[in-house]
Amino acid sequence: MKIEITNLHFTYPTGLEALKGISLTIESGEQVAIVGQNGAGKTTLVRHFNGLLQPASGSVLIGDWDTKKTSVAKLASRVGYVFQNPDEQLFSRDVLTEVAFGPRNLGYSKEKIDELVKRALSLTELSNQTETNPYDLSPTWRKMVALASIIAMDTPIVIFDEPTTGQDAVNVARIANVIAELRKEGKTVITITHDIDFCAENFERVIALFKGQVLLDGSAREVLGQEEVLAQTYVDPPQLTRLGKRLGLKETVRNQEEFLKALES
């Protein structure tokens, strides 16, 4: 499902102009990371995709639906959004009810709901926690419940707002695995992140925002190699990209494999 954003402007009631003319096309099945300084407009932008925010001017199309003319409830069948803070999202008494809430609201058949819930729980390694109250889980696992409850909705577009914040290495790997599975299924995955190494290792396309505008947009290799431009929006290139640059490697490297290969040759 294609996302088409045309000359999008948005101003908060306080007068803060958060988005200043953004135009972007995200094709079906793309894996996109959005990076940039705190307050650059990352969360404000993605909250336009599921209609939580409405453009002051310009437009956002999700497939053939204009978000200005479509309810948030209807958009929820196309765009799933995992909040930055799981505590803003979770409300059910147990994990199973929480995860089943979304697909149930989308009106799927009972068989389909069962299947989607089972799969989401297994992907997030929560299958043995179905009866637990989400608030009895540690923040790490609450985050996984938040992920599961969106994945279970089986939307063609899934948005993660800073999924790796406060997560340890094991859980970051778990989240990377979830994203890889969604990619295999052909879903569009859009992730806001400050974890630039995670970004380099899991996303093909990177968009850098700066003060409400698009600063850079391209393949991860193109974007993450531009150290000086990224610095404008307070982003450092990934560790191994910086190392490659310092060593004078010709190619921009993104991960361990590319780095060691470039060093050998």
Partner 1 sequence: MAFVNLQNVTYQYPLTKTPALQNINLQINEGEFVAIVGPNGAGKSTLCYALAGFVPHFFKGEISGTIEVADKESSKSTLDEWVLNVGLAFQNPFNQISGAKYTVFEEIAFGLENIGVPREEMKSRVEDAMALTGIRDLADRSPYSLSGGQQQRVALTSILVMQPRLLVLDEPTSQMDPIGTREVFGTIRKMAEDGMTVVLVEHKMEWIAQFADRVVALKDGSVLLEGKPNEVLTSTLLAENGFGISRYTSTAREGKKQGLWKKENLPVTLDEAVEGFKHNA
- Residues engaged in binding partner 1 (CB under 8 A): 12, 14, 16, 36-40, 42-43, 84-85, 87, 138-140, 162, 165-172, 194, 196-197, 231, 233-236, 238-240, 242-243, 246-249, 256, 259-260, 263-264
Q: Shortest distance, CB of residue 26 to partner 1, whole angstroms?
A: 22
Q: Shortest distance, CB of residue 79 to partner 1, whole angstroms?
A: 21
Which lies closer to partner 1 via its Cβ, residue 36 or residue 103?
A: 36
Q: In the beta sheet, which residues pair with residue 80?
A: 158
Residue 182 to residues 162, 234, 250, Cα–Cα distance (Å): 17, 29, 33
Q: In the beta sheet, which residues pair with residue 22?
A: 8
Q: Shortest distance, CB of residue 138 to partner 1, whole angstroms?
A: 6
Q: Shortest distance, CB of residue 29 to partner 1, whole angstroms?
A: 28
Q: Shortest distance, CB of residue 249 to partner 1, whole angstroms?
A: 6
* Alpha-carbon gap, residue 148 to 116, rounded angstroms: 10
Closest of 31, 52, 37, 11 to residue 204, by C-alpha: 31
Q: Shortest distance, CB of residue 158 to partner 1, whole angstroms?
A: 20
Which lies closer to partner 1 via its Cβ, residue 73 or residue 173?
A: 173
Q: Shortest distance, CB of residue 162 to partner 1, whole angstroms?
A: 6
